[in-house]
Amino acid sequence: MLELHGIEAGYGKQTVLRDVCVSVPSGSVVAVLGPNGAGKTTMLRVASGLLRPSAGKVVLAGEDVTRTRPYARVRRGLCHIPEGRGIYPTLTVRENLVLHSRKGEQAAAQERAVSAFPVLGAKLRQPAGQLSGGQQQMLSLVRAYLSSPTLVLVDEASMGLAPVVVDKIFEFLRQVAASGTALLIVEQYVNRALALADTVYVLNKGRMVFTGKPGEITDDLFAHYVGAGARLSQHRAGRGRRGSRRRSGLQADALSAAAVR
């Protein structure tokens, strides 16, 4: 569905990504993990066309889209849920939904959004900026469902949210994936990303340092990027230690699991 070949990209004179290759097969879930500043967001921007690479090729649904504008990639089935909340805060929830619906399908889209996240149903007339952080993220994410995209790029959907909200968000992503939509997710909640993903990439300082199945990530690699001596098996078992939210680019969601219990 999406292939990045030998991508080099950056900002001004700063090169951030070097020789980055990623493949997201149709209907699959790919997770990209990596510490802060590794270039994860930059990579998604290249994929959606917000940033043009200085070298390499972007292929979407078999077509070279390296020089294609973002809106044209949207027409080819791509949906990018950006870091932060990709919503219009002064518009109402309903207006936000309308903006992301196809012409003539606004009412159906609203129904779908409310069926995915019932809490939005009671907030349709409220400015989106007045919603809680979790509700704003739901509104942002529900776009992945409104226009039936074939590929969704999700940049840290669970950032800064309460564990129960993170649960809802991952359940939603699981359903989107189960419907056959391919997902490319960048996530701080390592365990949840690993549970959902078919393939995992680890990006560090703009280079891919690991590609494989979630079960193939070694403790060493995990500990190296999680830091604080964390071990993958601990986190897999949900026994990780509490730590600061942004200590590293990777976060074991043992934290949230503990809080939910």
Ligand X SMILES: Nc1ncnc2c1ncn2[C@@H]1O[C@H](COP(=O)(O)OP(=O)(O)OP(=O)(O)O)[C@@H](O)[C@H]1O
Q: By the criterion CB under 5 A, which residues form the site for Mg ion?
A: 40-41, 83
Q: Please state, as a whole number, how many other Cβ atoms lie within 10 Å of the Cβ of residue 52.
A: 12
Stretch that binds ligand X, among 9-17, 103-111, 115-123, 142-150 (CB under 6 A): 9-17
Does residue number 184 form part of the binding site for ligand X (CB under 6 A)?
no
Dihedral over alpha carbons 251, 51, 29, 80 (to 10 degrees): 90
- Residue 125 burial (CB < 10 Å; 0-12/13-18/19+)? exposed
Stretch that binds ligand X, among 10-18, 88-96, 128-136, 230-238 (CB under 6 A): 10-18
- Tell me the residue length of the chain: 261
Q: According to CB under 6 A, which one of 6, 19, 26, 36 is a site residue for ligand X?
A: 36
SS3 at position 23: strand
Does residue number 41 form part of the binding site for ligand X (CB under 6 A)?
yes
First to last CA, the chain: 38
Interface map 68-97 toward ligand X (x if CB under 6 A): ---------------x--------------
Sequence letter at residue 64 = D
Residue with tokens 């950056």: 10
Stretch that binds ligand X, among 36-44, 96-104, 139-147, 166-174 (CB under 6 A): 36-44
Q: According to CB under 6 A, which one of 1, 4, 16, 20 is a site residue for ligand X?
A: 16
Nearest to ligand X of 110, 251 (CB atom): 251
How far does Cα 190 stand from its chain's mean position? 12
Q: According to CB under 6 A, which one of 39, 49, 53, 86 is a site residue for ligand X?
A: 39
Nearest to ligand X of 25, 227 (CB atom): 227
